[in-house]
Chains A and B, each alone.
Chain A
């Protein structure tokens, strides 16, 4: 009886309608580069001399990279950086988050202020700290001399530079740990703490036996996210040390950047990118597995 048939979509069509934009983006921005990355990693090829064509060399790029002791040193340096800076961020972050649980005047303002470093662009953070660590006129050395210390060459000596970048990274990312730890701590019902108080638990016992275990799932996720992120750290080193002295403060990503965009060994850079990708996928898998485990636990 209705004059016109209404235009109707099947459920399946609607599902596709929602998926297509995202799929197009994913294929264009992730799929295509990913596939071409893998393909390029098997070739000797430089983007600067694309007219020279590419030469298939099988696993030679990988062979070369993994046999290069210099690259292994980059991995070791990156590992050191990841472990030290993530550990610092966790220790300080959890400590601060614990004290932010207590009610005091101005807590919310302090909390908000503490979140600021995280919102600054990393490269800007890098330059800021580079100036502060400047051995001649930087504020860090100024403070050091106030305490009677000699001027320290922060960025010119490998170990010092590592410390300097760890400090910058910790300054920038501890807020992230504070944020997640606070969320984790606040998720613990008050009645559990009351029960622990009545059960005679000291503050320390309560923290180690109740708070930390119950916050552990979220803290573990934060740990993995921070590890993945600092493993890729590039900006801070680029801005603060430029990878120097020599190439001793280059992270793997930094080295990758150099191979790809300073030397333009595109094939070799692709192979290194694939190796990095595998490591990060490995870490992400742990994260995803763990999240799945949590959600099944929550359901069961």
Chain B
């Protein structure tokens, strides 16, 4: 087991800086998810930790000891890859035993570990089969078995479930979390799926353009996004963003006035600023009959629709389309905004505190 300290890590591919001076501290035994859109550097960072990718500069330490420069095998990391990486000519048992045999472990140890891991991951029935005919879910379970069989310091998972069918994914996610806690192995999991990240992680590292956008637990990222990008990337459906400005002591969103009471905090924050955007999740923007929330005076093309079990609605302000939650019950509904759950971002996309004090003053 190991804690991981990453410092000033930089990786370039030609002119493209894939990882741009990342610094990160991961506790021993933590389950950390690297989350971000494709090309954000999450997999590259993971491969640096694995030793499959050379870094330009910086340092990675396990328990305080520098490991950059060590071969992958000397780092005692294990990895599950996105694509199938099982040895096609070996049986499942042969695949799982490979890391033990490659290290020259005695036969009894190999046997004991095989039995142990087959038990945990319930692989008994397929131990003698070759990977060729197995479904993607089973393949990744075998890959996971191969990864944990030798009790690695660090377990690295690179989008391991992306090829697995939706209905098994949920199960495997749960199982993965369970096994990780059981083993207590420091685990890094790469994904671009924010729901997966929210479900699994102790801590989430949200990355963008080779930098860390925000590092925190799921609640931090969801309820306390530091930037507009975090607000946008976390949560589903995605957060709405309105161009917000203060004019004649009125809040204008996309040029449309925000009526009703309770807007003092927002006014206070907007005062003297330009280029701000108000971010609010569809869950916190409600189509209903007079609920006392600040509301949009006019919106066009208000269109309720059903998405799964949720009743949503879309509407237009100017040329842009926004999403909210439909709770109307047949009257003349208004579009109400729960500003206590809204976020204001400045022109540099950094969040400005909608200071509770200011809101309290208003109420």
Give chain A's interface residues, CB within 8 Å of chain B.
Answer: 189, 191-192, 194-202, 205, 209-210, 213-214, 297, 300
CB-based nearest B residue for A202: B102
Tell me the complex Cα distance, A213–B88, Å.
10
Give chain B's interface residues, CB within 8 Å of chain A.
Answer: 50-52, 71-73, 77-79, 81, 83-89, 98-99, 102-103, 132-133, 146, 150
Q: Is the CB of A199 within 8 A of B133?
A: no
CB-based nearest A residue for B146: A199
Q: Is the CB of A201 within 8 A of B98?
A: yes
- Could you say which of A195, A209, A213, A300 contacts B81, with CB atoms under 8 Å apart? A195
CB-based nearest A residue for B73: A200
Q: Closest approach, in angstroms, between the C-beta of B100 and any C-beta of chain A? A: 9
8 closest Cβ pairs, A-B complex: A200-B73, A199-B99, A195-B85, A201-B102, A191-B85, A197-B72, A213-B89, A198-B72
Q: Closest approach, in angstroms, between the C-beta of A57 and any C-beta of chain B? A: 53
Tell me the complex Cα distance, A77–B87, Å.
41
Q: Is the CB of A200 within 8 A of B99?
A: yes
Q: Closest approach, in angstroms, between the C-beta of A293 and any C-beta of chain B? A: 14
Residues on A with C-beta less than 8 A from B73 are 197-201
Residues on A with C-beta less than 8 A from B103 are 200
Given contacts A202-B102, A209-B98, 17 further A-B contacts (CB under 8 A): A189-B83, A191-B84, A195-B85, A196-B98, A197-B73, A198-B52, A198-B77, A199-B99, A199-B102, A199-B146, A200-B73, A200-B102, A201-B73, A205-B102, A213-B89, A297-B132, A300-B133
Q: Closest approach, in angstroms, between the C-beta of B281 and any C-beta of chain A? A: 38
Tell me the complex Cα distance, A213–B50, Å.
26
Q: Closest approach, in angstroms, between the C-beta of A72 and any C-beta of chain B? A: 40
Tell me the complex Cα distance, A198–B73, Å.
5
Q: List 29 A-B contacts (CB under 8 A).
A: A189-B83, A191-B83, A191-B85, A192-B85, A194-B72, A194-B79, A195-B79, A195-B81, A195-B86, A195-B87, A196-B98, A196-B102, A197-B71, A197-B72, A197-B73, A198-B51, A198-B72, A198-B77, A199-B102, A200-B99, A200-B102, A200-B103, A202-B102, A205-B102, A209-B102, A213-B89, A214-B88, A214-B89, A300-B132
CB-based nearest B residue for A298: B132
CB-based nearest B residue for A206: B102
CB-based nearest B residue for A201: B102
Tell me the complex Cα distance, A195–B81, Å.
8
Interface centre among A197, A198, A201, A214 (most CB of B within 10 A): A198
Residues on B with C-beta less than 8 A from A202 are 102
Q: Closest approach, in angstroms, between the C-beta of B272 and any C-beta of chain A? A: 54
Q: Is the CB of B87 within 8 A of A210?
A: yes
Q: Is the CB of A194 within 8 A of B52?
A: yes
Residues on B with C-beta less than 8 A from A198 are 50-52, 72-73, 77-79, 99
Q: Closest approach, in angstroms, between the C-beta of B131 and any C-beta of chain A? A: 11
Residues on A with C-beta less than 8 A from B78 are 198-199
Residues on B with C-beta less than 8 A from A205 are 102
Tell me the complex Cα distance, A195–B83, Å.
11
Q: Closest approach, in angstroms, between the C-beta of A299 and any C-beta of chain B? A: 10
